[in-house]
Amino acid sequence: MVESELSEISSELIRTTVRETVENELKSNNYKINVSSASQSGDNNFIGVVYRVSFCKEKKIENGVNSISKLILKVAPQNVARREQFMSRPCFLREIYLYNEVLPYFREFEESKGVIVDENGFTEYPKCFRTVDIELDECVLLEDLSVSGFKMIDRYTEEVKADHVYLMMKLLAKYHAISFALKDQQPEKFKELSSNLDEIFFCRDSMLRDYFLKQSEDLSNVVSGDEDAHLLEKVKKLLQQHPMDVTADCFETGRDAAVIAHGDTWQNNVMYKYDNNGKPIDIRLIDWQIARHVSPIIDIVYFIFFCTTKELRDAHYDDFLKTYHETLSKHITKLGSDPETLFPYKLMLEHFHSLGKVGLILATVMLPIIMKDSAQEINLDEISEDVVGNKKELDASIFLSIESNKRYNQRLREIIIDMVRLEYI
């Protein structure tokens, strides 16, 4: 192996971790290795840097074909201001905890209940090979799902379709069902696992508190016309309370039916495999860095309202919720508990009506990122240094061009319309 091929990785500990993982996979210390960026063009990874590690044996095997293997390496940024601004260390520790403790125990629990994990259990996430939790060297080495044909939806050129959402609803239902059954049958173990999942970003004393307040002004701005008077009235009523407190209230409410949620279920954290006709047939959930102990509907509103069009919601919203609950109930039953006791459909709808508004508040934060133009370059280190050094305030306008701002305003207005129609606000 040539050392320079890992020179892009500054940490010797991480380089050693990569080498050891590769050697273990190949059962050889004689290999070629290459590291490249794994991010989609135009995308920014706020919490860390993502690389693709490609490797193969140095000597060709007998039939003359040298098979190339791949891993995904997620590394925490070194820039101090960026680490502080985007809570990099807590987020990496959270993901490491999920991969090392929560997800393995969930799999063990399913197997103990007779669920065949590879066929019926929750396996829709990448295999984790190694983790490092030492400060400034935080990293996670994962299966490269692209090798198996999985890919992200290109949000710059594609729309999320109904088939994508139905697969996501079934995935979330199966994942959430484990929390419900585990809490029912092993309450102390569930308490132990969930007690380490305090909110990272959206807590009452968050450094983002002023940013949330500034972003919430967009809610009033996009429904300021005379034809939107009834929408503006609802928005003003919602914003009588600080938007960060609205969010914190929603995360803290409904703990009697809370699960270990993924926490960041937008389309860049989901990968799909397609059949020959372009229909999505399989799904994987990635990036567990802000997993949280909240109502399961938080994951659902996060995905549906941030990632789908109003046209899609108008046509399928009720069916999305029914699909989720039907799958949830079936999997809770497989795991030996009673879904009608733990989370009946009526209770789920109550959670949507009392907590669904969090999707609107968070949309003001997430949508500028989602609507960003692909060609727009953003230097997160410089932005973080300016914000931490009090040279400027964090402002969502850094993500938006004139054209993308129009799309953002339209999408935000449509979410408000749906929130009012559904009586979430």
* Same domain, residue pair 345 and 389: yes
* Same domain, residue pair 277 and 374: yes
> How far apart, in whole angstroms, are the C-alpha atoms of residue 348 and residue 77?
39
Q: Specify if 110 maps to a domain.
A: yes
* Same domain, residue pair 112 and 69: no
Domain termination site, one of 52, 75, 98 = 75
Q: Specify if 377 maps to a domain.
A: yes
**pLDDT at residue 172 is higher than 50:** yes
| Residue/partner pairs of 28-34 with CB below 8 Å, 24 or more apart | 28/57, 29/1, 30/1, 30/57, 30/58, 30/59, 31/1, 31/55, 31/56, 31/57, 31/58, 32/1, 32/2, 32/5, 32/56, 32/57, 32/58, 33/1, 33/2, 33/5, 33/6, 34/5
* Same domain, residue pair 59 and 105: no
Query: Residue 127's closest CA among 1, 249, 284?
Result: 284
* Same domain, residue pair 9 and 108: no
* Same domain, residue pair 37 and 114: no
Q: Specify if 90 maps to a domain.
A: yes
Q: How many CB atoms lie within 10 A of CB 357?
A: 22
pLDDT at 243: 95
Q: Specify if 137 maps to a domain.
A: no
* Same domain, residue pair 87 and 183: yes
Q: Specify if 213 maps to a domain.
A: yes
Domain termination site, one of 36, 58, 75 = 75
Query: Residue 102's closest CA among 17, 203, 182, 202?
Result: 182
Q: What is the mean pLDDT of the chain?
A: 91
Q: pTM of the full predicted structure? A: 0.94
What's the domain count of the chain?
A: 2
Please indicate whether residue 387 or residue 160 has the higher confidence score (pLDDT). Answer: 160
Q: Specify if 417 maps to a domain.
A: yes
**pLDDT at residue 121 is higher than 60:** yes
Query: Residue 293's closest CA among 259, 264, 263, 265?
Result: 259
Q: Specify if 132 maps to a domain.
A: no
* Same domain, residue pair 256 and 297: yes
> How far apart, in whole angstroms, are the C-alpha atoms of residue 231 and residue 186?
45
pLDDT at 413: 96
Q: Specify if 316 maps to a domain.
A: yes
> How far apart, in whole angstroms, are the C-alpha atoms of residue 299 and residue 254?
14
Domain termination site, one of 75, 97, 117 = 75
* Same domain, residue pair 190 and 262: yes
* Same domain, residue pair 156 and 240: yes
* Same domain, residue pair 23 and 113: no
Would you put residue 203 in left (φ > 0), alpha (ψ -120 to 50) or beta? Answer: beta
Residue 333 lies in domain: 82-127+150-421
Distance of CA 154 to the CA centre of its chain: 16
To 5 degrees, how large is the angle CA 216–CA 360–CA 372? 75
Q: How confident is the model at residue 68 (pLDDT cuts 50, 70, 90)?
A: confident
* Same domain, residue pair 37 and 120: no
Whether residue 14 contacts residue 48, with contact meaning beta carbons closer than 8 Å, is answered with no
pLDDT at 3: 47
> How far apart, in whole angstroms, are the C-alpha atoms of residue 292 and residue 362?
15
